[in-house]
Structure 1
């Protein structure tokens, strides 16, 4: 097990595990892995956690996963996950065969898989001639290509059977696949769930092909899935995931560009999340390949090879939805192919999914119709809900101007020396009345915020020599009962609900609660005068209550926040908050990454003097908030000013007309 597994078992952050290793000499030593990613013994870690009074929970799924991690090295882990998947597919398809023969096979000393070249199709069970477990599994999974013939540990199989009873074969396998992807996150690139769902909806219910299917994410919602994957273990995982869902699948292993295992196959739609920036994609071997209908992809543009490979596998008029690095929309070596895709009417839309990429290119294989004159540009950002309506409206009427953060651009305007398809460069101009209203409103708010800025900072006296004051620590204040420290629960029951939740982002920006949850006795409710700190060191004093929350008072403290409640008769909260903010964070962070001020030093002063300090700290904080608001409004005003001058909605004062 790695540090992430330990953190998950103990319900702490990774930083806490690192801190245990540094501070506790008896913490278990690594038993494998590397210096940067060590692996530990599950039994040793659980014994250490139990011996140190730390609560933890090891689920049945984690027991199965840890046994698999110790059975083979990481390079063969995918093979083992696939092998377990084959066994789960057998349990799913032939539960009676397992109950009649399989369980008894595990009780004896029988090989689970036949030896290479051996014939174990018949083996004695309880003195009778009966099919072996290997034969039963092989018969139930005959449609799987190249099912692995490795020996499985009977103890592991018993655990897998228990996991399948608890979660079903599909649920058990999805759990193991998720752990496999997490353990190989640097080698496996998995499409984001929301992006995969969007692409699946765009593809529809017909035959869907993914030529770089990975572990099958883009094929799970397909009516008739077809796929190819370079990695044989991952191809097997994809096949098992689909078959466990009752979907007939054809998945082949191999390099799609060099050895097209689905040559000649035309699908209704092709979905693809290809490997980015892979220079060794076969340029030298594939120079004369007939797939390059729109031009030979430059060696540095493998993504354009994948685009043309996908177009070669879709029927005329069929959709290709392919994820591309944002730079592929504007890199100079690819401009010729981009231009040819536009001229032929193959490239229909470019969707920016997030700042920095990836982009989603939507293409249609030309079917002999007149090429369109427009291409759709969508700047979706994080709001993927705008993509489908914009796409369907564009397909229905390519000449109509779409609403929202979308626009159509004339193809002839793109066929310049750059052929730049980046949606951000073609952002739609704001409407005249909307722009005028927005610009005027921001200008008025900026002037109002600027006028509210104090002319001078709080009155502070400069001393010729540094003032030495007696100090104590927050830890001592806690012992004396002047301060109570409360931490938010690590998990909450819901993301929305009637109880307002103060989040870390709210504290950092000085905003009211933006989250929500349901009433729970474990919640920590804020009160006016409480001090709240974030893991990054932001410090705020709560100034208002929320009587409509349904609780006794305040808002619920969100995850990753810590609250300090003071005896206000003896300690001023603004005084303490000011010194907490200035505490040396390099010396006062705990293993949980929350700001731990127990060792921070605070002057010992009468409460009347504390309040003078607190008032100054409060004025500085208010000034900081006003400056932040004014700066944000100023940035918006500047952006609107540039946009308005460029788009023609503004002009410099002094011109006639």
Structure 2
């Protein structure tokens, strides 16, 4: 019997349901003989029978029946997206299905078009066809064919549609399901313009309290306008876009959220929108990097919208001016732009920006930290604009530089920007203790050295006082003088080379006094662990003494394949590098080298000194045989030839080495003191402080 594609589940979906990593699933597969075999897919992306996997999870104590039956919204979305992608379909199908389910539940669709749990097969296919016809003529959808993705899928396989709808039927709050879909599908090309929920919420919270109408002139997705509508449910929502797919996606989004929307097809820059279209608030997340196309968008100098200068090049300058043009008195425009609008001068941008500032149209600038939006490394900012002369303080601009979170997994504190802006509206002041917000005088912004970039103002505000810099210079000079005066060690010239001591040369692999243990293969099946329960990995960075506590990885030793050997004090650890080998004596127990390294353990101290062995391994004469593998070199020391000299002479070499190491340590101390003095001097020079002989 062949398993239907709709009854299969991937490793990704299993991990999403259980809340574990994909490596855990792969580990079960390799270690558990009774783990179900794939029924479809490829060796790299296998698909399993869903019910068989669920039975195995329950039987092996990996999940409970209640856990699998009570799957959360996010996990249901992950499963459905997984199933659709395996069929070559996209997230728009699930978006259309969620919207169709909402329209059916709310009885917005005519009865003949609705879906219920009793409708399936040919009856379901006919209902979807009828619903699609209804959307093309209904004022509720602005005659947009929002169910087209579902219609196309129905023609391909009605069983897929039925499966999706039955899963959706288990979810009570369809809006939360659509929100989960937004987070899960943002990696798809057609969904990449979707804003993160917290960023869209910040924009919505900055809207004027009295806003009764909200307009998005260049809608790329429904995330921004839908979030604004949820924050201002009494407001009339209008969007415009030259792309039908964007309008349809936005309509599905707002309908599922229980909102009503007016959708206008056309390019607002080209003048396709009526000039009398006005709103209390204009919000926009215009496409990044888009250039004006004069052939299609017809940019004329006589256009009344270009009151600050005719836009050329970057589309943002046209969107900005159009937004201000469409504001009602007292309204505000909130536009997400590339940060380059704060300093770019190409295509007349500098003149337009200066005109906006001089005519008191820029009320606030909020600089967003890097990585706040997925799929782009472009720096972003939010501009709060008003009609000429209607900003809160015509003499000053509010600049906010949102801090980057300390951890990559954390999100910025957007509420900080909201509180600061609301205080500005109420008092035209900022918290004097806040190092991220500034009341920037217009005259200073327009000065030759002025800037509208909040990060520049933060940089200037955090610059040390001259007295502090001078004091730091004196301290750095004192440190360097102490380091130089502390050199009391010189090379002992009584040491001289001794030849003819080696009885013979042999390979390390033939020596019973030295044991070789290969490092562990830490592939994706190896799971991370807490420092309390895991084993620390001895990386090259750690071996060189450059790893901080945060850099050290801890792994679960039970998930490492094969036998593992942990370090003991006195072990020699040899690790490959692109230029050769690093070999050092490691005096800490319980570390796990990776597969690029080997442990050489001296079991007979009367035969070999570990320091001597490590020194030999780093010789340029024998570096080549130490590493094997052309793509990812790894250490293989068994074939390395070393001399056999008496242990007393080995220790003499080590004693001489320690004297050299001591001198190197002095040199490193001097280098550190000199580097610190260089950094302080650079800060002083950047602050206008010069140096002269006393």
TM-score, length-scaled by structure 2: 0.61
Residue 373 of structure 1 pairs with residue 406 of structure 2: no
Does structure 1 residue 189 correspond to structure 2 residue 189?
A: no
Residues 330 and 134 (structure 1), Cα distance of their counterparts in 2 relative to 1, 3 Å cut:
closer
What are the ranges of 5 or more consecutive residues in structure 2 without an aligned counterpart? 16-20, 27-38, 49-55, 63-74, 371-377, 406-411, 604-608
- Unaligned stretches of 5+ in structure 1? 17-40, 122-132, 546-552
The verdict on how the C-alpha distance between 1:636 and 1:98 changes in structure 2, with shifts beyond 3 A counting, is farther
Q: C-alpha displacement at 1:637, in angstroms?
A: 1.6
The one-character-per-residue Cα deviations of 1:360-397 (angstroms, maximum 9, x if unpaired) are: 33323346579621223444452554645554454455
CA distance in 2, matches of 1:564, 1:424: 44
Partner of 2:99: 86
Change (3 A) 1:64 1:417: same
Matches within 5 A, 1:149-228: 149=148, 150-151=151-152, 152=154, 153-164=157-168, 169-170=174-175, 172-174=177-179, 176-178=181-183, 180-184=185-189, 188-191=192-195, 195-203=199-207, 208-222=214-228, 223-224=231-232, 226-228=238-240
Secondary structure of 2:193's aligned partner: coil
Of 87-96 and 281-290, the range deviating more from structure 2:
87-96
SS of residue matched to 1:146:
coil
- Structure-2 residue corresponding to 1:597: 634
In 1, the alpha carbon distance for the partners of 2:217 and 2:305 equals 14
Which residue of structure 1 lines up, in the alignment, with residue 305 of structure 2? 291
Query: For 1:322-341, what aligned pairs fall within 5 Å after superposition?
Result: 322-332=335-345, 333-341=348-356
CA contact (8 A) 1:458 1:619 kept: no
Matched, 1:318 2:331: yes
Residue of structure 2 in register with 1:68 after alignment:
84
Corresponding position: 1:513 with 2:549: yes
Cα displacement (A) at 1:200: 3.7
- Asked if residue 409 in structure 1 is aligned to residue 409 in structure 2, the reply is no
Contact map agreement 1:390 1:406 (CA 8 A) in 2: yes
Q: What do residues 511-565 of structure 1 show as CA deviations (whole Å, max 9, x unaligned)? A: 43138999988799997869798999998989898xxxxxxx989x9xx987968
Give the conservation status (yes or no) of the 8 Å contact 1:86–1:141: no
- Whole-angstrom CA distance in 2 between matches of 1:163 and 1:500: 42
2:256 to 241, 244, 249: 244
1:137–1:44 CA distance, 2 compared to 1 (3 A): farther
Work out whether residues 291 and 312 of structure 1, in 8 Å CA contact, stay in contact via their aligned partners in 2.
Answer: yes
Question: Shift of residue 470 of structure 1?
Answer: 5.8
* Structure index of larger Rg: 2
For 1:260-275, what aligned pairs fall within 5 Å after superposition? 260=273, 264-268=277-281, 270-275=283-288
Structure 1 residue 278: deviation in Å?
1.6
| Displacement of 1:341 | 1.0
SS at the partner of 2:41?
A: helix
Q: Residue 375 of structure 1: SS of its match in structure 2?
A: strand
Aligned to 1:643: 686
Deviation at 1:217, TM superposition (A): 3.2
Query: Which position in structure 2 is the counterpart of 1:276?
Result: 289
Query: How does the TM-score come out when normalised to structure 1?
Result: 0.64
Structure-2 separation of matches of 1:157 and 1:470 = 71
Distance 2:264 2:576 in 1: 50
Cα distance change on mapping 1:148 and 1:95 into 2, 3 Å: closer
Supply the distance in 1 between the matched residues of 2:306 and 2:115 (Cα, whole angstroms): 54
CA change 1:396–1:252 in 2 (3 A) is same
State yes or no: 1:346 paired with 2:361: yes
Secondary structure of the 2:452 match is: coil
Which residue in the other structure is 1:31 paired with? none
Q: Distance in 2 between matches of 1:251 and 1:309?
A: 18
Task: Decide whether the 8 Å contact of 1:314 with 1:365 is kept in 2.
Answer: yes
* C-alpha separation in 1, matches of 2:351 and 2:475: 48
Q: How big is each residue's C-alpha offset from its partner over 1:48-100, in whole Å with a ceiling of 9 and x where there is no partner?
A: 799xxxx999x875664355346668xxx575454334334346646998999
1:579–1:602 contact (8 Å) kept in structure 2: no
Residue number in structure 1 paired with 2:471: 440
Aligned pair in 2 of structure 1 residues 80, 413: CA closer, same or farther (>3 Å)?
A: same
RMSD over aligned Cα, in angstroms?
Answer: 6.3
Aligned to 1:482: 517
- CA shift for structure 1 position 106: 1.7
Give a deviation string over 1:251-306, Cα, whole Å, max 9, x none.
Answer: 54442323338962313453434433423265525543332232222x21321111
Distance change >3 Å, CA 345–CA 139, structure 1 → 2: closer
Q: CA deviation at 1:221?
A: 3.3
Q: Quick check: 2:519–2:597 contact (8 Å CA) kept in 1?
A: yes
Against the structure 1 CA distance between its residues 102 and 399, is the aligned structure 2 distance closer, same or farther, given a 3 Å change threshold?
A: closer
Partners of 2:41 and 2:47 within 8 A in 1: no
Output the CA distance in 2 between the equivalents of 1:587 and 1:411.
Answer: 64
For 1:382, the equivalent position in structure 2 comes to 404
Provide the rounded CA distance (Å) in 2 between the counterparts of 1:89 and 1:251.
Answer: 19
Kept in 2: contact 1:407–1:428 (CA 8 A): no
Q: Is the 8 A contact 2:574 2:583 kept in 1?
A: yes
Task: Name the stretch that deviates more: 406-415 or 502-511.
Answer: 502-511
SS at match of 2:379: coil
Q: Does 1:44 align with 2:48?
A: no
How far the C-alpha of 1:346 sits from its partner, in A, is: 0.9
* Cα distance, 1:340 vs structure 2: 1.6
Aligned counterparts of 2:303 and 2:533: Cα–Cα separation in 1: 61
Question: Over residues 145-202 of structure 1, what are the superposed CA-to-partner deviations in whole Å (9 max), with x where a residue is unaligned?
Answer: 43234242322123313542566644554555455431317x9434466644543443
Question: Which secondary structure state, in structure 2, belongs to the residue aligned with residue 487 of structure 1?
Answer: coil
Deviation at 1:227? 3.3
1:148 aligns with 2:184: no
Contact 2:140 2:260 (C-alpha < 8 Å) held by counterparts:
no
Q: How far apart in 2 are the matches of 1:304 and 1:90?
A: 39
Question: Which secondary structure state, in structure 2, belongs to the residue aligned with residue 111 of structure 1?
Answer: helix
Aligned partners of 1:244, 1:437: CA distance in 2, in Å? 59
**SS class of match (1:291):** coil
More moved, 141-150 vs 525-534: 525-534
Rounded Cα–Cα distance in structure 2 between residues aligned with 1:163 and 1:535: 52
Distance in 2, matches of 1:622 and 1:161, equals 70
Q: Which residue of 2 aligns with 1:232?
A: 244
Distance 1:563 1:347, change over 3 A: same
